[in-house]
Structure 1
């Protein structure tokens, strides 16, 4: 399901591809559909690389989170929250983290 501000659904993306495949310039098709040339080229590129499956929505979740709190510390914080009922300002110094983490 596309996000609520998305200009194109999967059907609209397929329509974009069909129009480009018929020989029309990507910029002209993008203008007709109310999207930027960069967005149109992105969908055309994904379609060429992945085929029809490239037109579906992707997760916006990052592939990696390099600064994520280690699992051991996360477990310790969760246990302290459950047993002592402390907030982040009190838990931070106990586990050695800033309160905003």
Structure 2
């Protein structure tokens, strides 16, 4: 197999992958448009021009939950003292 054919196969694979990815993106976009009615909002959200809807949505919004980060897990009560409970040689 010459270097040209290897390069051609790589290019063909890259194009097929790009085409497939683009088709998946289009399908997901079309499905989202069907669900939202095409205006970027859910059908149940009401009249998008009404300021009342936006006010209600702001009031109902909850603050984001804190995520479990490795720094927080290091200080977890569950993780304290496990080395002492197991003792040496009891892994």
TM over 0.5: no
Q: Which has the higher helix share?
A: 2
Higher Cα Rg, which structure? 2
**TM-score, scaled to structure 1:** 0.22
**TM-score, scaled to structure 2:** 0.23
**Structure with larger RCO (C-alpha < 8 A, sep 6+):** 1
